[in-house]
Chain A
């Protein structure tokens, strides 16, 4: 057990001083209960997103158009599983078990990125997910490399390093489609039309409406606001869309010389809330599938446990004889 020599108020002050001083918080440090809770919520949501995000892409592994694309997609989905693992492990340093985290995902008390509740209908969706969805995630994750909780920050560094291939492979795949036949180009445009707005929603509600933002910024769990990150994503992505020769599905989008940023149209927050609250196209399917795979794998966990018990028994008998 860790013993602390200060009283509660001094502990809280020392904690905030440490954060203000750009020092990381590490697992055995004293931390306010709300900081711990807030981190568990954000980090587990992040972990769940990595794992649930394997579903829309996994859907296309067996139908990839070439062997090369298939190998790339397989490697990418494998990475997502690994990223889920890094994040679950980092979350567990806050004193919560993997079982509790999985249970919260399956009973709906924990959320995951709502973009994964949209279906991946065509092959162009796979390139678009890598390029736009991972692209948006990277913008967020780059800023989270500086988050105040040490294990989270270190997991982000590792994930960002691995993730840049995800975005590039998606873009490369779209370059092929955008320069292909009229049907292929139309397929790329259709995918962009469906994924553009949900990608912008990935950054969460506007700063003024974001429930956890102010406290998270004070504790430096978040380093940039939702709107700042969203703007950065739009600014870096528009030239890429232009390069592809596709059209952004937003009539209000235009360069604002004065601001030095792109202006863009209003986001449909009703849709966002609808999907977050469970009424998206695939919410039910995603969680059901997770449960099914988890249950189908139960025999493996049981067999491992049984083998362990048997080995222990055998060793005990050997020692006794």
Chain B
């Protein structure tokens, strides 16, 4: 058996409390998802940091690149009307 092949990398997400989103906390190597989950428990939640863990193979994550920022986000900058603060409310109008 060729043990020189790297074990896959997994990204670990922990939900610190019910009601909150899972948050990325780090990564680890494991042979499969079940093992990754056990390692994640041992590595990232030794002090009760969470109530739920997600593990995702790093290779399964598709991400945008910082160089793409212009085409991704530039068009948003000239749209101030998407923000509530763009609209000036009369002094005595509250609750809006």
Contact = CB atoms under 8 A, between A and B. Distances in A.
Interface in A10-63: 18, 23-26, 28
Contacts, number: 57
B19 A175 contact: no
B81 A175 contact: no
Contact of B81 (A18, A23, A169, A171): A169
Interface stretch (A67-75, A248-256, A280-288): A67-75
B83 interface: yes
Interface string B77-96: 00101111011111011111
A311 interface: no
A157 to B, nearest CB: 10
Given A175-B90, A239-B93, 16 more contacts: A24-B19, A26-B18, A26-B52, A28-B52, A71-B79, A153-B19, A165-B87, A168-B84, A168-B86, A168-B87, A168-B89, A171-B93, A172-B87, A236-B94, A239-B94, A243-B92
Interface residues of B, number: 20
Contacts of A68: 81
Counting chain A residues whose Cβ lies within 8 A of the other chain, the interface size class is 20 to 34
B52 A135 contact: no
Nearest to A28: B52
B21 A165 contact: no
A23 B93 contact: no
Contacts of A169: 81, 87
A154 interface: yes
A167 B96 contact: yes
B15 interface: yes
A215 interface: no
5 contacts: A75-B82, A165-B87, A172-B87, A239-B93, A239-B94
Contacts of A171: 87, 89, 93, 96
Interface string B22-33: 000000000000
Interface of A: 18, 23-26, 28, 68, 71-72, 75, 79, 135, 150, 153-154, 164-165, 167-169, 171-172, 175, 236, 239-240, 243
Contact of A240 (B15, B79, B96): B96
Given A26-B52, A240-B93, A150 B87 contact: no
Contacts of B21: 154
Nearest to B21: A154
Nearest to A69: B81
B81 A71 contact: yes
B79 A75 contact: yes
Given A24-B18, A26-B18, A165 B92 contact: no
Given A135-B96, A175-B90, A243-B92, A75 B84 contact: no
A165 B19 contact: no
Contacts of B95: 236
A150 B18 contact: yes
Nearest to B52: A26
Contacts of B15: 26
